[in-house]
Amino acid sequence: YIVSKSGGLIFNLDHNVPKVENEKTFSYPLDLKLEYDSKKVCVVFGQKDGITVGHVLSAINGVNVNGVTLEDGRDAREIIENKDNYPLNLRFHRPKMTTNEKIVLASTFYPLFAIASQLSPEPKSSGIEMLETETFKLNCFQTLTGVKFILISEPSQAGMEILLKKIYELYADYVLKNPFYSLEMPIRCELFDTNLQSLLEQVEKNGVSSI
């Protein structure tokens, strides 16, 4: 992700995100507690067989679910609550982030970054440079001009700071030198895309030391 000085998301690229999907045949009544809201059917209680709280219904009997309705227009809730339809084959997956949600997240990170430096016990502290949890590691590199480069990787990956500097180089080369690009606007630049992609592939294959 690249976040501009004003906190807007100007570039994002998903590389190789593992997709967790679980399919299982259910009998009546469901041993999962589902919650129906306006846009999705979501598990709220009853973790089992890899289906965990927060997962979203993605298909019933192999037919994909779009929000709360099936592809053929039927309502998912009616099918699940009708006893005659069982046994049912339901597929669940982790909710995928929409572009809007990504923009929201990017702007959430912005104040976190600022507060972190304010709450620091040492004077002249920077904002968050690395945020690590059990499942991922987030590296953030802020340039002198205030643009933030955010990279999300596996916790075991090392040398991500170097990779971020390299991405900054690419940004400087292909984005800033592009006469059709105006600052603070989303980056739509093919050369940058392809070069970034090949950089990531190279790192994936040979490690960071090869760049």
Partner 1 sequence: MIYNFYIFDKQGNLLYYQEWTRLKQSGITCEEEAKLMYGMIYSMKSFVNKISPTDIRDGYMHYKTNKNALHILETSSGLKFVMNTDTASTGIKDFMNQFYLKIWLEYVVKNPFCLPEKPITSELFKAKCDEFIKQSTFYGGIKSI
Instruction: Candidates 61-69, 105-113, 166-174, 203-211: pick the segment binding partner 1 (CB under 8 A).
Output: 105-113
Of 24, 40, 46, 43, the residue nearest 76 (C-alpha): 40
49 torsion bin: left (phi>0), alpha (psi -120 to 50), beta (else): left
Q: State which of positions 124-143 bind partner 1 (CB under 8 A).
A: 124-136, 138
Going by C-beta distance under 8 Å and a sequence separation of 6 or more, which residues neighbour residue 206? none
| Amino acid identity at 206 | N
For position 120 contacting partner 1 by CB under 8 A, the verdict is yes
User: Could you give the 3-state DSSP secondary structure of residue 91?
Assistant: strand
Contact 159, 137 (CB under 8 A): no
CB of 72 to partner 1, least distance (A): 31
Could you count the other beta carbons within 10 Å of the beta carbon of residue 129? 14
Residue with Cβ nearer partner 1 (77 or 102): 102
Quick one: DSSP state of residue 186? -
CB of 108 to partner 1, least distance (A): 5
Among 31, 49, 72, 122, binds partner 1 (CB under 8 A): 122
Q: State which of positions 141-200 bind partner 1 (CB under 8 A).
A: 152
Among 6, 61, 98, 108, binds partner 1 (CB under 8 A): 108
Residue with Cβ nearer partner 1 (54 or 207): 54
Among 12, 22, 52, 143, binds partner 1 (CB under 8 A): 52
CB of 83 to partner 1, least distance (A): 31
For position 46 contacting partner 1 by CB under 8 A, the verdict is no
Of 98, 65, 92, 93, the residue nearest 79 (C-alpha): 65
Residue with Cβ nearer partner 1 (85 or 120): 120
d(CA 26, CA 22): 12
d(CA 181, CA 178): 6
Could you count the other beta carbons within 10 Å of the beta carbon of residue 42? 17
For position 101 contacting partner 1 by CB under 8 A, the verdict is yes
Footprint on this chain of partner 1 (rule: CB under 8 A):
17-18, 20, 52, 54, 94, 97, 101, 105, 108-109, 111-112, 115-136, 138, 152
